[in-house]
Every structure is written in structure tokens, then in C-alpha cells.
Amino acid sequence: MPKNAVLITGGAGFIGSNYIPYFLEQHQDTTVVNIDKLTYAGDQENLAEIRNHKNYNFVEGDICNRTLLEELFEKYEFKAVIHFAAESHVDNSIKNPDAFIQTNIFGTFNLLDVAKKAWMDGPNQVKEDCDTCRFHHISTDEVYGTLGETGLFTENTSYAPNSPYSASKASSDFIVRSYFHTYGMNVVTTNCSNNYGPKQHDEKLIPTIIRKAISGENIPIYGDGTNIRDWLYVLDHCKGIHLVYQNGKAGETYNIGGRNERNNVYIANTICELLDKLQPKEASYKAQITFVKDRPGHDFRYAIDASKIENELGWKAAENFESGILKTIEWYLEKYNTK
């Protein structure tokens, strides 16, 4: 039984597939088991660089499948679970909330409960030594609802989710919290802002802008494009997750944000201006920007106060939006131009 193992869920998705190579680099002696259902959002190509790594194992499976999880906990002596798996696209949650309730709420419960039984109730019980087995839950700032023109989300902001996606993530955060308060399980939750960077699914805002721009299509922007998000470069996020995984206090939550508030019009314009330089054509890409009917219940502004992780753990986003977006565009141009 491999003793020094970590279970990562949803590692074939955007953030998980950026995190796993980083994790393997930091821990040369740890076995990583990545369980992923390979929904439309998961792609093993995202992990091509570590597919043959000696410490990497892939299991195609659903976190809602309790028997499978129990088998994995029997096969490997996991010291941690790092939980990325989720249905993550707000628009899909508006059309079809069922899968969000199933994976994000029931799947998270299932995973927590199997981990608790293995770690705290079984023959390897570590109840008195909680620090050894950690459950790290990855969540979103969308659980806090929307902000007006001012203010920032802190870890003490009340939850007020507005979409089926954010409501399902809020529910999972509370279930995770309850396992600390009820059973003393070593859990930690990070709530992050909007990620961008390599390997994100085509459906999300930034890949959509780049893809539509270079294919000559209209670039759709919801409403009047004034909605604001706090943009976080995915590798900064991975480093923040890792610090919390290693040094965060059990039972605590940490907000991870880039301190990079930008509205959607600014994002579309910046990408178009960079594309004008990187892949020039006759007319500016900006001419393709088109405003479309707003998403129902569209939150106006999210912005994170990241002081807690900055002050307690010494993390700070290295990229500002302008440096991160350049790297991102270069990555997508390589992907889309060679298709």
C-alpha cells in the first residue's frame, strides 16, 4: 500500500491540471492519485506533461461513487485529499442545476465522509493526530454573492449565493465546515476569485474572447460589460492553495484573490489590443466586440480581500492582470493556431 499518497479530485480540469504538475515538483516522494469523471470539462491532454510521471496515477471515476472511493482509500494510504472536482460553469447551472447539486454537494459530502471514516473511524484512525490527514476543499468567492461599487469579501463576509452554481458551492463549504466542528476533522477551505491562464475550458470568458477574436466571429460580452471580477492567474492560485494545504490552520477558510479588479469591457479591449500586436489583421479585433443579453442574476462585482493569506502565510499574487493575460494569450494562440 503506497503510504505517502494524496488524492486529488477533478485534476483533469483547468485548475487541477495546473496544480498537479506543481505539486509533483514540490513533493518528489509523494504519490498523486487523480480521480476525475472526465466530464466535458475534463481533458487528460491537460496533463500530458506528467502522464508518465512515476508518482502520478489516474483513475477515471465519479466522486459520487462511494464504493470506488472506499476502494481507493483501501488501496492507498492517503494523507490528504485536495478537492477540485466540481461542475463549475455558472451558465450551465442556470440551464441544468441537477449535476451541480449532485457533484458539488453530494459528491463533496461523499468524499468527506469516506475520508473521515478512513482517517478517524478505521484501523488507521488518527483522531488524536488530526494534523496528519488533511481535507482541502477548493471553493469560490461567488458564495458571498455580489458587491456594490465598494467593499471587499473577507473570510467573515456572510454567504449570499445567487446562482445554482454558487449555492451548490456554498452548501459544500458548509458541509466541509461541519466536519471540523462536529468531528474535529482536519479540513481547510480556500475561496478564490476568477482564475485565468493556460488550460481553461473554451466555454469560459477569456478563452471565448481569444477564440472568437482570432476566428473572426463576434466577441460576446454580457449586458453592458461593466461587471467586475477580481482576476487571479492560475499559477498564483496554485501556489496559494499549496501554502494553505501545507500551513493553513485546520477549520479555517482563506480567501485567495489577485487584487486585480477589472470589468469585462476592459478585459475584452485589453485582449483585442494585445492580439492586434501579436497577430495583426486589417481591422482591430475590437470591432468584433458585441454586447449580448445579460445572464439572469448576474452578480455585479466580486472582489477579494486577501489580507489573511498574505499576512498569515506570506502569499501574494505575482502576476497583475496585464502580465498574466499576455502569457495566457500566448498559450491560447499556440493552441488555437495549431488546431
| Minimum CB distance to ligand NAD smaller for 15 or for 81 | 15
| Minimum CB distance to ligand NAD smaller for 103 or for 186 | 103
| Minimum CB distance to ligand NAD smaller for 107 or for 120 | 107
Residues 6 or more apart whose Cβ sits within 8 Å of residue 122: none
Q: What angle (nearest 5°) sits at the alpha carbon of residue 31, between those of residues 30 and 34?
A: 130
How many residues of this chain bind ligand NAD (CB under 6 A)?
Answer: 31
Contact between 15 and ligand NAD by CB under 6 A: the answer reads: yes
Q: By CB under 6 A, name the one of 8, 47, 63, 72 that touches ligand NAD.
A: 63
Contact between 140 and ligand NAD by CB under 6 A: the answer reads: yes
Residues from 103 through 122 that contact ligand NAD (CB under 6 A): 103, 107
- SS3 state of residue 221: strand
Q: How far apart are CA 176 and CA 135, in angstroms?
A: 9
Contact between 85 and ligand NAD by CB under 6 A: the answer reads: yes
Q: How far apart are CA 125 and CA 318, in angstroms?
A: 39
Q: How far apart are CA 6 and CA 77, in angstroms?
A: 8
Catalytic residue among 62, 142, 230, 261: 142
| Minimum distance from residue 323 beta carbon to ligand NAD (Å) | 18
Clarify whether 141 is annotated catalytic: yes
How far is CA 245 from each of CA 142, 253, 273, 310, rounded to the nearest angstrom? 21, 11, 38, 15
Contact between 205 and ligand NAD by CB under 6 A: the answer reads: no
| Minimum distance from residue 225 beta carbon to ligand NAD (Å) | 18
Q: How far apart are CA 129 and CA 319, in angstroms?
A: 37
Q: Distance of alpha carbon 244 from its chain centroid, rounded?
A: 14
Q: By CB under 6 A, name the one of 23, 62, 69, 261 that touches ligand NAD.
A: 62
Q: How far apart are CA 108 and CA 83, in angstroms?
A: 8
Contact between 169 and ligand NAD by CB under 6 A: the answer reads: yes
**Which positions lie near ligand NAD, rule CB under 6 A?**
9-10, 12-16, 35-39, 41-42, 62-64, 84-88, 103, 107, 138, 140, 169, 192, 194-195, 201
Q: Which residues are catalytic?
A: 141-142, 165
